Structure 1
Amino acid sequence: MKKSKLLGVLFLVAIVFVSGCIGSSSHTQNTSAPSTTLSPTQTQTETTSSSCNCPKAKPYYPITITDFAGRNVTIEKEPERIVSLAPSITETLYFLGALDRVVGVTKFDDFPPGVQEGRTAVGGFSDPNIEVIASLKPDLILGTSMHLKYLDQLEKIAPVIIIDPKNMEEVYEAIGLLGKVLNKREKADGVIQFMKAEVSSVEFRVANKTRPRVLFISWWNPLYVPGNDTFQDSLIELAGGENVFHDAKGWAQVSLEEAVARNPEIIILSAHARATIDDICNSPLANTDAVKNGGIYFVSDDNAISRPGPRLVDALKELSYFIHPEAYGYHFQPVSCPVEG
């Protein structure tokens, strides 16, 4: 019995010895063959290329857009030096978080506060200084239809995009277009959604209410009013009113007699209209329901209501206060003509 156990142990030792020899022989043959050592970078590259045949991400630029003048404009690279030829455009760039790219503005830009600091004034709104603009070496110029007459000169400096909205819907389009040009689409979408929410809030408050006749005076002498295809006309409608000159086209010059004949119930004056309460009370407008019932209002921030940008929602809310104060649970105090005697 002991002998058989001893033979079994010796048999196992023999098997282990033979296996070790075979493994050693195999190892010797492998080390004698040529070998290649991959660096970490090579290994990563080989692994990636073998496991994924992924397409390269398409670069955002160049892009081609169609501006408000119907022009196709190609932007080759992300704009870093922008000249804005309108305060409304500058304000929109601010809300898009792109004000740091603006190197030139008009002398009338005043929002946000301090916007002139560190930037070059390139002239007025209607009379930009081409030489100053060129000296700034911009890679993008943003203007309005007012600047089409300078287009040939401006295009020699940099790509030019015309932004010229006429109503609230087109203001949304303008914001979206600038978001696309500046690779800030998500930011633009956020601004647009915020504005639409504010508009919806006002529309909800004034829904199903009577629409009083509204005369909006942009300029007093001669008398200018907003007609259809203007954002002020759009705001009056959204605020629950009826623009008495909705049938006019654009900003129209009208006579006092024509304004009286339309008998507005509410008169709203731009702060820049160059008119006082005495001007209104001592004019033929004194015979309108608006003056007789003390329905005269002055806007608090003329720039908010005259610049087609994100701040139009602030102007809209103020107009709705004037037109439908009952929708807000209080009576907004209008201006009345002084009582004689």
Structure 2
Amino acid sequence: MLKTFTDQLNRKVIINYPPKRIISLVPSQTELLFELGLTDEVIGITKFCIHPAAQVKSKTKVGGTKKLDIELIRSLQPDLIIGNREENTKDNIDLLSEEFPVWVSDVASLEDAMKTISQIGDLLDRQPEAAYLNHLINAGFTDLQTLALQLGIDKKVAYLIWKDPYMLAGRETYINDILMKIGLTNITKESRYPETDLQDLALLKPDLVFLSSEPYPFREKHLEALKLSLPGTEIMLVDGEMFSWYGSRLVKAVQYHFQLQPKLK
């Protein structure tokens, strides 16, 4: 039957409910779909969709999140495409929306992420599974916020996502909200993903610098180089998926942050 939904860009999306041929254009949402039990329904994913490893292996790759193979997507004849405002381009979303139902999320906070899980559960007739995931995530992050207070975590952090040029995760981002949830304050007051250099970063005097494993793959050698420019600042490699993936990975993120928090005192 035909059913109408409203996505997070306030666009009306009419689908044949429940959809049976789904393409996901976002890695964290791809993982969520498999977690909701939609292994057979997912027919296409991006080359960056790496979790869960066993299931994604056999799925058709339709390009990168921003460089999609439109003709390949057309050949798959999806009855639903699921994307994201930040991770996919407006041009691609607009083009695909002319031919297929495209539901788009817009996530800038943990609360947005949980809303997305709930709405995707509604969209795909997986409401109980989505509700259970949100129960685990809400309980976990409530405990993380309590632990941050108990441990007295109160440090300023610079979260680096890119090199050459260096780029920070700024305010009004999902990463910023996760940093706050575990008791940290973002050192930059700029929005989105501002560029910086080591001289400007030193002037901001962060207590901590996080080097994310994605999208730029920071490694130990980068950590050692930054120590020379930022003496007295604690510099840590962190798992970017635990700060930036907003689907079912949040359940794993809770355990990750519980282990991280004692190191932040």
Please report the TM-score for the alignment, with normalisation by the length of structure 2. Answer: 0.89
Structure 1 residue aligned with 2:203: 261
Q: Decide whether the 8 Å contact of 1:214 with 1:243 is kept in 2.
A: yes
Residue 21 of structure 1: aligned partner = none
- Greater shift in the superposed pair: 90-99 or 196-205: 90-99
Deviation at 1:319, TM superposition (A): 4.3
Distance 1:130 1:252 in 2: 31
Tell whether 2:63 aligns with 1:123: yes
Of 30, 50, 58, the match for 1:90:
30
Checking the alignment, whether the CA contact within 8 Å between 1:199 and 1:313 is kept in structure 2 is no
Matched, 1:73 2:13: yes
Q: Partner residue of 2:161?
A: 218
1:257 to 1:130, Cα distance in 2 relative to 1, 3 A: same
Of the three residues 94, 97, 104, the one matched with 1:162 is 104
Deviations 1:285-320 (A, max 9, x none): 23xx42xxxx22111x33333322221353355345
Stretches of structure 2 lacking an aligned partner (at least 5 in a row): none
Aligned-pair CA distance for 1:176: 1.0
1:13-40 alpha-carbon deviations (Å, 9 max, x no partner): xxxxxxxxxxxxxxxxxxxxxxxxxxxx
Query: Does structure 2 conserve the Cα–Cα contact (< 8 Å) formed by 1:90 and 1:99?
Result: no
Give the secondary-structure state (helix, strand or coil) at the position aligned to 2:213: coil
Gaps of 5+ in 1: 1-60, 328-341
Partner residue, 1:113: 53
Task: Output one character per residue of 1:254-279: Cα deviation in whole Å (capped at 9) or x when no partner.
Answer: 23333212211111110233541222
Secondary structure in structure 2 of the residue aligned to 1:207: helix
Would you say 1:297 and 2:236 are equivalent positions?
Answer: yes
- In structure 2, how many angstroms separate the alpha carbons of the residues matched to 1:210 and 1:153? 46
What letter is aligned with 1:72?
Answer: K
Provide the secondary structure at the position in 2 that maps to 1:114. Answer: helix
The 1:251/1:309 distance shift into structure 2, 3 A limit, reads farther
Residue 108 of structure 2 is aligned to residue 149 of structure 1: no
Aligned with 1:179 (options 99, 113, 121): 121
Deviates more, 1:115-124 or 1:315-324: 315-324
Separation in 2 of the partners of 1:202 and 1:70? Answer: 32
SS at match of 1:100: coil
Give the Cα–Cα distance (whole angstroms) in 1 for the partners of residues 262 and 74 of structure 2. 49
CA apart distance, 1:83 = 0.6
Matching residue of 2:223: 277
Deviation at 1:173?
Answer: 1.1
Query: 2 CA distance for matches of 1:130 and 1:139?
Result: 15
**Which protein is richer in strand relative to its size?**
2
Q: Which moved more, 1:301-310 or 1:192-201?
A: 301-310
Alignment-mate amino acid for residue 185 of structure 1? Q
Task: Give the corresponding residue for 1:10.
Answer: none
Q: Is the Cα–Cα contact under 8 Å of residues 81 and 138 in structure 1 kept in the other structure?
A: yes
Q: Offset of 1:153 from its aligned partner?
A: 2.8
What number of residue pairs does the alignment pair up?
Answer: 258
1:228-247 alignment to 2 at 5 Å?
228-245=171-188, 247=189
> Which of structures 1 and 2 has the bigger CA Rg?
1
8 Å contact 2:153–2:264 — kept in the other structure?
no
How far did residue 102 of structure 1 move?
A: 0.3
Change (3 A) 1:319 1:242: farther
Match of 1:332 in 2: none
* Residues 265, 303 of structure 1: alpha-carbon distance in 2 compared, 3 angstrom cutoff: same
Q: One-letter code of the match for 2:201?
A: A
Given that 2:108 and 2:174 are in contact with CA atoms closer than 8 Å, whether structure 1 keeps it comes out as yes
Aligned identity (percent) is 28
For the 8 Å contact 1:239–1:317, the answer to whether it is kept is: no
Between the aligned partners of 2:94 and 2:207, the Cα distance in structure 1 is 47
Query: What per-residue deviation string (whole Å, max 9, x for no partner) do you get for residues 199-254 of structure 1?
Result: 01211211252411111111132111111221211111111111112x21112222
RMSD (Å), alpha carbons: 2.0
Amino acid at match of 2:225: D
